[in-house]
Amino acid sequence: MWIYEKKLQYPVRVSTCNPKLAKYLIEQYGGADGELAAALRYLNQRYSIPDKVIGLLTDIGTEEFAHLEMIATMVYKLTKDATLEQLKEAGLDAHYVNHDRALFYNNAAGVPWTAAYIQAKGDPIADLYEDIAAEEKARATYQWIINMSDDPDLNDGLRFLREREIVHAQRFREAVEILKEERDRKKIF
């Protein structure tokens, strides 16, 4: 199903070691509106969506995994040279005790990822509206992280991710309209 190209979807650069910024980015790794939840939500919903839009969920779901890989790379680069004191100052001491420097699916507050983040109602239009909301929440979170960041190199990658959320939301809106037209078309027997 996939062909893996051994490069990131968009280059990830960071200017300096910054564990505090990494802690904020963890939200997009394992948070409710993060990339893992989005990827799994869309790939799960595709089994109960009409054929006319199933490819869209597959395409965006797989792209979200590429975004997850970018976030993981950002977090790694922001923390790889951090001292234990810097990790403590950033509020990552409990994470260090449990996972050393390994990535772990949790949000910025340290709450572990849960499958409860995955929404699937089974009604295609309701699910697509949920997907639009998820993309808009991710867009807002990326903007807030950019607002907190003083790293121009990192912000370049974050802006790319924010823009992709906008594109995904628009594509989901288009899918809603396709399904509404199909639903409202007169059926003659």
Taking alpha carbons only, the member of 72, 71, 86, 67 closest to residue 16 is: 86
Query: Does 168 show up as a binding residue in the annotation?
Result: yes
- Residue 156 pLDDT grade (very low, low, confident, very high; cuts 50, 70, 90): very high
The gap from C-alpha 148 to its chain's centroid, in whole angstroms, comes to 18
- Residue 88's φ and ψ, nearest 5 degrees, are -60, -45
Instruction: Kindly tell me if the per-residue pLDDT of 152 is higher than 80.
Output: yes
Model confidence pLDDT, tens digit, residues 39-73: 999 999 999 999 999 999 999 999 999 999 999 99
- Residue 3 pLDDT grade (very low, low, confident, very high; cuts 50, 70, 90): confident
Residue 170 to residue 165: CA distance in whole angstroms: 9
- Residue 180 pLDDT grade (very low, low, confident, very high; cuts 50, 70, 90): very high
Q: What's the CATH number of domain 19-107+119-180, 3.40.120.10, 3.40.50.620, 2.120.10.30, 1.20.1260.10? A: 1.20.1260.10
- Residue 5 pLDDT grade (very low, low, confident, very high; cuts 50, 70, 90): confident
Q: What pLDDT score was predicted for residue 85? A: 97
Query: Does 135 show up as a binding residue in the annotation?
Result: yes
Q: How far apart are the first and last CA of the chain?
A: 38
Helix or strand or coil: residue 28? helix
Residue 89 to residue 79: CA distance in whole angstroms: 12
Query: Does 93 show up as a binding residue in the annotation?
Result: no
Per the listing, tokens 């990827």 go with 39
Query: Does 35 show up as a binding residue in the annotation?
Result: yes
Residue 155 to residue 146: CA distance in whole angstroms: 6
Instruction: Kindly tell me if the per-residue pLDDT of 14 is higher than 70.
Output: yes
Query: Does 182 show up as a binding residue in the annotation?
Result: no
How many Cβ atoms are within 10 Å of 61's Cβ, its own excluded? 19
Taking alpha carbons only, the member of 39, 113, 107 closest to residue 75 is: 107
